[in-house]
Structure formats: C-alpha cells, structure tokens
Structure 1
Amino acid sequence: MNAEPTAPWWWLLLALVAMAALMAALRLWVQSRGRIKVPAATVSCASAPHAPQAPSGPTFQRVLSAQDALTGLASRLQLEDRLDAAALRAESHQRRLALLYIDIDGFKPINESYGYEAGDALLREVAQRLIGLGRSTDTLARMGADEFIMLMDGDPDHASAALVADRIRQALQRPYLVQGREVRLSCSIGIVLYPDHGPRARLIARADAAMLAAKRAGGNIHCFFADTMDPGALEAIELQRDLRRALETNTGLELHYQPKIDSRTGRISGVEALLRWHHPERGAVSPVVFVPVAERFGLIGALGQWVTDEACRQLRIWQDTGLRMHVAINLSVHQLRQTDLVERVQDSLARHDIAGGRVTFEVTESAAMEDPQASLRVFERLAQLGVSLSIDDFGTGYSSLSYLRRLPARQLKIDRSFVQDVASQEDAQAIVRAVIKLAHALGLKVVAEGVETVAQQDVLKRMGCDQLQGYLFAKPMPARHLQLWVMGDGVPARRMQFRDSQFEHDDTDGQRPDNEDDLI
C-alpha cells in the first residue's frame, strides 16, 4: 500500500515560517522609520528590569522630568502634554478619550510592614502589570505615591473604559511575592470621558474625584465621574497646578528664617529655614495646606530641592557680606526615600561653594524610624559631606535607642508640646529633663522649640538646654530682615532681652497650628 504524499503540508509549514519572518522584518523596518508609535513608558520599563536612576542636576526643573524615576512610566508633566495633544485630536475628529485614575488600596500597610524598599519593588511590579494592559496608543503615568493614570486614546466609549478598568482590577489582584510572602492588593479606579465629563483642564481633577468616590464606597471598584462628587479634589488639583507653576517660574516661594539662641551667651547660634508660599490670588498659603498637596502629587522632591538650593544660595550671600550663619533645613520622609538625595545636596553645596558644616538637616523622629536601616544609610552618606543631622520633635514618636545611638546625629529638638507646659507641669518638666540628660549622655546638643514665655526660657536654661527657639525671641522672617535683626543684636543681651523681630507680619497671621513650621 502506497504511503500518502507528505509534500503539501511541508510546503505549507515553510510558507508560514517565511511569512512570519517577513512580517517581523517588516515591523522592524517600519519601527526604524518612526511610523509605529511606541510609548516611552512601555519602552523604558520593558527594556530594563530595574527602574532608571532619578536624574541629578542643579535645578528643580530637572527634578520635574518626563519620566518617573521609580517605575519608568511617564511623569505627570508628560501625561499632561499627551493629554493636551489627545484632546486636540479628539476635538478635530469628534472622538472620545478616557482617563482612568488608579489608586492602590491598602498600600500603606505594605510600607509599614515590609519597609520602603519592598514597597518600591511592589510599585514597579504594579507598573509592569499596567503596561501589559496598555495599547501602543495609550499613556501610562505615575502621579505620585501609589497613584497611576491611564490615558486611553482611540475613541473609547463608556463600556470599553469600564472593561479596561475591570481588567486592571483583575490584573492587580493577582498575588505579589514580597520578601517571600504572598501579598494581595486591590485598587480603586475613577473614570472620566472627554468631552462627556467636562473640559480638558478639569479631567484629571474629576478622575481623581471619581476615584475618591470609589474608595469611599469600599474600594476595589471603578466609578465614573458625576457632578455630585466631592469638589475638594478639584481644589487640590488646582493648588498643585499653581504650586508646580511657582516652582517652574521661581515665583511666590520664599524662605523665612527663625533664629536659634545660645542659652548661655544669648547670641544667635543659627537659623531654621521655613518655606512660605505667596499665592497670586489666595495670598499666603499655609504649609499645612500645600505640603500635603506636594506630597500627593509628586512635587515634594522638587520642593525640597528648591528649599535646599535656596538656603545654600542665601548662605553664600550672607557669607560674602561677612555674616557666617548656620542653617537648619527640614527633610521630609519622602525626600529620605529619594535615591539621589545625597547627590542633590552635594550639588547645591558645590554650586554655591558652601561647606557642609554650615548645614543641618532636621528629620522628625517618626520619619527617621519608619525605615531605620534605609535612614541610617542616607544619614551616613550625608555625614560624609559634613552635613549634620538633628532629630526633630523628639519624644512624640516611637524610636529605638539602639538606632538612635547609631545615627550620626549631633542634635535633638524637644517637641513644642513638652515646652509648652514645661513651666507649669511637673510631668512635662520630668520628660524634658530626661531628654536633655539622655542627649548630653550621647554627646548631643539639645534645642527647645516653641519657647514663647520668659518662664519657659528660665526653666529650660536651668535644665541645661543648649539652644532655644521660639516667638519669645523672633518670628520667622525673610533673609533681609534677619540680617538687620542680627546686626542690631550683635552684643549679647542680658536676660536675652532681644528686641522684637523686625518682620512682625508672619504668614500664619498669629494662627500657627502646632508644628506647622516643621512641615518643610
């Protein structure tokens, strides 16, 4: 019996292989000609398993780059550029586009339980999963912290946007492996369609409002924007837009300086730099308001860099006029997690030719202890620059004395809540006395902040507190007023009878909440 001929199926196989090779070669050629648009976020994440290093540079403009340093996704700036272009295309072709605002539910406990390195790795994995769901015409961006946005181009309707949202929730619900343990997460998604849900300038704000509504409903759902949703998110979006513009144009931001007084000599021993924002329409905006907005929308790194650079610039001006000053700068927990923080500080010191010993970074006790090992590494590298460290708000958080002993700190600041009652409450006196003795035993200087009465000053001096800071001596004031104030008080004053600060109008208008100035 003759075997059936086999040539036809071999020829078919060869034809399919040749066709596949031809299509692959054609795709590569078209890509090289620039006719296929591949999102930058997809390329950067798919080509490297680790996120790229954050750009280093002398100015805050370079911090506001087009790419998120942690995930490699687009930044908010790049998203807004692409959103503008997509909205113009949608208008010209009478098509829709969609924005999906994605917030990870329950991410904060991951950071608290496993540390920030594990949290960062988890965010990179989330970004990779989102990339797997996007098309070449979509844009993925990280808005800051654990929030992402997907911009869907290509005329999506209500149903297709909802379908993508469901796929995102399913993808992000798959288990993650964190330090050998299985972790599950969910997400809340707010959705807006353009032009259905308003003008382009309001889309991100309204997507955010829809996301918050999804969270209030219990999370792990998606929600389309409705006019009845909380308008508070719109105000936050507008505030961050104005703050971003202030950074880009270097307008409206200013440092005020509050003196620290040597308790033995009565002379000024240094100043603390405190950020103020003069909004062109709102007037003075409190740090209590704008710092959380900066943290939420990924501006805190640029804002912190602006403060460091401006303080160094002012130090150089003072030094050139014969005034040798020491400046303390507040460092937020978000800045502590920046991989290039030390390089940024080093760049500011070098550009203005300032010795590291003229600068102290104040870090709250709780921020330093959130991830003690990571904080220790950052502090040790800063110490190599000559920059000193002060533990701020000491006594209000939970800290390990073994870690405290290892930190290269030179100073402790007693929280104002203890100073407030130190002249009248025995328990406050006992706490302050114990902190001072502990600090001195560790070779640290002690600063008491929030000193507002002579009675508080006298008690703290008797206890051996090294430096005093508060409204009893001076309010925070602009650099030009501080220089006049210092020149007028060059001779040690008996009983520290300093005259009032020449800058009588502080931004807080006499209504300073507790620790407002400690925010940045």
Structure 2
Amino acid sequence: MNVLPGRDAQHFATHFLRTVAVEYIIKNMPGILVALDLQQRVKAMSDEFSNFCVTPPTIGASIDSVLHSDVYLSLQSYIEKSIAGQSFQCVVNHPSSATSFYHVKINATDQGCIILAHLREREGARDVQQEFLRVTFDTIDQGVTIYNENLELVAWNKVYESMGIFPPHLIRYGMPLLEAYRLIAGAGVLGPGDPEELAQSHITRIKTKKMVKVEDLFPSTGRIIQINRYYLSGGGMCATFTDVTEQRNIQRALSYQATHDHLTGLANRQHFLNHCDAMIAKALPGGDGFFVLFLDLDRFKQVNDAHGHPVGDAVLKSCTERLKSLINPQQGDMVARLGGDEFLILVHSGAKMQDISTFANTVLASVAEPYVVDRLRVYISASMGIAQFPGDGRVSHDLISHADAAMYQSKMKGRNAFDFYSLALGDSINRAGKLVTEMRYDLEHNGDFYLDFQPIASLTTGKVVAAEALLRWRNPSLGEVSPLEFIPCAESSGHIIVLGMLALDRSLATLNRINKWNPNFKVNINVSPLQVRREDFVETLRKYISKYDIHSPNITIEITESCIIHDSDEVRQNLFAIRKLGCELAIDDFGTGYASLSYIRKHPFTKLKIDQSYIGAIAEGGEHAVLVRAITEMAGAFALQTIAEGYRQQPSSAGEH
C-alpha cells in the first residue's frame, strides 16, 4: 500500500473533495447542465442532461456521441469557440418536437466549457423569430442601431456602444438621430464646416433617402467605421457599423506598394502615367502646359560595381531627396523612378518655370554634387531629355517616349547635359525604328550583309600586306545603309552581337582562301565594345580560328579608344586572352578619344591606327603633321606598328590583294 506524504496527501484530499463537490452540485442542479473538458468529453452533468441526449450519457463520453446529430451540428462551432475562450448564446430546435426549442448558453472555463440549456415551448413562429433575432442582435460582431419612422433610436447593441463614435452614456432610448449627428459633427467626424449645418444636411438626405448607403466614419479613436444603411418599409432606418480599420490599412499598404518604388518611395511608372493622364485631362485649352523630363544617371553601374549595391542604393535615395526638393507637388509636379538609374520629372510650366532650361541646369547641378556614403565620396552626373505638353505629345506614353529619346541624344553629345525633343529627332527615331526592323528581318532571312575589304599597304615596300574587313548593308527598302547609321542601331538594339559574328565568320572564311596562296596575308576585323565585354567572345574567336584553320598572327582585332577608356576587368582579361591566342590587337581611330599613355601601356596592343582626319590634313602641314609625327614616335617607343588610316598613295604592286 502506497502512502502519500502529509502535504501531498492534504493537497490530494482538498482537490478530491472540491471535484466531488462540483460534480455533486452539477448533478443535482435543476435544468440541463453539462461540463465538458478540452477534448469535448463529459466531466460532469445534471440528472436532466439525459433528456437532452439521444443515448444515455456517461462521464468521459464524447459530447458528439450522446447528443442528437442535428443538435450537435447546431452547437459544434459554438463549443469549439467556447473551448478557445469565448462565450455564446444560441437557439437550437428540439430534434423531435416542432413546438419546442432550447435556449442554450455556452460559457468558457479554464478546463473546457459549461453548457446550460432551457427547454421552451413555442407560442408561434413569431416568438421563435424574435428570440432568434434577439440572440443574433446581442452576439453579432457589428454595431447595430434601429430608428423608428420619427428617426428616434429604439434599439442598439453593445458592440455599437463600444465603437467610440461618441460616449456610450449619451446613447439612450428615443435619442433623435439629429442629436447623434450633432455629436459626431461637433467632434469633426463629418469633416470641416459648421456642425449644425452638417448634421441637418445628413438628416435631410436620410429623410429623402438620398443619403449614400455606405459611408466611412473616422471617430477620434483612429478607427475606420463603415456604416451600411437600410431603409425600412414601414419608415425608419436600420444601420450596421463595421470596424474596417485593418482592412483599410491593408488596402492602403497594397495600393502604395502597387504605385510606388520600394527603395526610394517615389511614384513608379504606372503612378506617373496616371498622374500625367490626370494633368492632361484637366489642362485648359490655351492654358499652361507642363514638361516631362527623363533623367538617366550616367555610368551608375560603375558605382555599384566599384562600391557595391548598398552604396548605390544610398546614392539613389540621396538623389531622390535632391530631386524632390526642386519641385512643387502643390502645382502638380511629381518625381518618379522607373527603376535602375532612371527617373521621370513632371514640372508645371507656370510662373516658376518661365525658363525650363534654367530648371534643367539646376537639376543637373544638384545631381552632380558629391554623395557622401560612410565617409566615401561618390560622384555621378546625369543626362536628361525634355518633352513638352501639348507641343511634343498629347498622351502620356508619347511624352515619356519623346523625353527618353531626347535623353539618349544628350548622352550621345557627351553626357551631363540635357536636350529637347524635336520633330527632327522624331524623324530620326522613326528612321532608327525602321532600320532595326529591317535589320532584324535581314538577319533572320540571310539578307544582303556583305564585306568590303580596304587594303593596307606597307609604306616600306608599297605592297598590300593586309586588308581591313568592313561590314556593309544593302537593303531592298532602304538601299545602301551607311555603317555610321546602322552600327549604332545594331548596338542599341542588341543585334551587334549577331552582326559581329557574321563579320568574323565571313572575314576568316575569306582569309582562309587567300592564305592558301599568300600565307602571310593578314586581315583586320573591327569588334564592337559590346562583343569584347562578353565572356564567350574569346572562346568564339578560338572556334572560328580552328574552323577555318587560320594562323592566328594573321588576324588583327581592332577596338576603339572608348572600349579601353570605359573598360572593366572583363575587357582587360579578354584583351590579354586574345593576345594569348596569338592574334594582333590594334587600337582604332587613335586621336579622336581620350586614351592616355597609361591606357595604352596597360593593355597588350601591338598596333595603333591613326585616325584619317589627321592623315588627310598632313599635306596642309602645321599642327596635324606635328601630331602625326608625335603619335608615330610614341608608337615606336612602345614597339607598336603604326597604321595611317585613309592614306591615298597608290601602292606599287596593286595586283597583290
């Protein structure tokens, strides 16, 4: 036999007696009463509880096994919520009597719930309906008010009192609706204006049934209460009050996310378009227009590459604040971020904007100020294009597109500048669009792209020792298209990669045929900076050399000064890899850019081509001749072979190709 220690025995005895006492009280209590544990099992029950059951109940039995299925289904959700801590009242039909029903109360306890039911006889369907409505009225989670035909309050529930529309102690039976509106108007809930006039206006609209059926109120608690009004057929009105604060907050957050840039908080493209559309819609004929400015940060990618994206993001945020400080939103001005390093600015052309050029210069100067991020000073500039409504477009998309085109024109002129859209620029854009379309078609259908070889002669022997392969394009619709026109279009559209591979393939195929009878003949091939930056370029070049069995020193790859001035690690690595293949490297059009001696020294060039603008002017003497002599001497010092581009002296052996 086990004996508990004194204190434990005393505790056990106390708990045992208390449990027995509770069970005894419940068992002998009049009416239908049952206590359930957290698993919905019977812990204690009154004698009359068996009258509520379809099978004799026992302690420990599951409640769903002893109740009639219809009764349990009616109570199931209430029991589950009560076990979770809530209390309810409800009406349950008697399973076998059409004249009886149960009025049920379910109260939550720490260990489950207690169900108390009273059997009542129906005095008629109206009594049951009234009972059901009363219980619903008291338990619904919305505030409810009912006003009679004189608009006097005749019913309300506790949820309405708790909503804070006005102090609960002021709510009383017979309270006129006008008095309620005076109270909330006085608290400023109905907006600005005289409280009495606002209250009277609302009552008039309600009496004439012209009041909106759904309306939001903003009580002093900061919650948003939605009112739904229902006019009663016999006169009067019923209104429900729903707290929609959380719902509205979620809607606002989602709406903000859909219309704003997550990094800067600026309007996004769609929000800007909508705002621009609204400005166009309200513009008066002959009135003030507005300007759309398309701003692109120059070489912003280098900031991210050099310092990391956190620094780049900080610069974008600082730039955003500077742009916002220059506009007046009250006039309809707006700044938006398109993404990356592109921004849009809409500026009203009123008195403040007599000179849009002055404003544009102010923007560029503000953007160009140094950015300090964690003691690091970052310098950037911007290029900007400007389009005006209505002169440059009457729809938002056109204005943005035209400002974008003007921005690219300003970049071509040297960056850190702005340019205006013009009809001539529009014609140029249309021409470029036509070029891109025709180029795509010709590339897909083996159109007439061909090579023109420019001979390169030795000044020592006069013999042609090499040729430069120049890609040309003859289109059935456009005719002969200058490379000065189609190469930039190919670069901007991405077709330059395919064109470059086509030129490389055909150049080496031609060199293969020539080398069979002249093994020392060489070919120079122009390569776009976009090609040189590609990771797969060197491998592609190696495959073509192998395909045509070319002696690699017979190939010279020509790149422009701009490629090395704005180079990257990838470009430098690719240049050294090209030299490792055995190919020669030439810097093209030397003298037209800003390549310094340091650029030439740190890259593996073997040849230097002097731009033809200098060569053509040699005969005139003067500074051009001096410059050519200086470049030649410098190239000799670096052991670079010099090529004079555009030299017209006839070679002595023209028969050699």
TM-score (norm 2): 0.40
TM-score (norm 1): 0.50
Higher strand content, 1 or 2: 2
Task: Determine which structure has more spread, i.e. the larger CA radius of gyration.
Answer: 2
Larger RCO of the pair (alpha carbons < 8 Å, separation 6+): 1
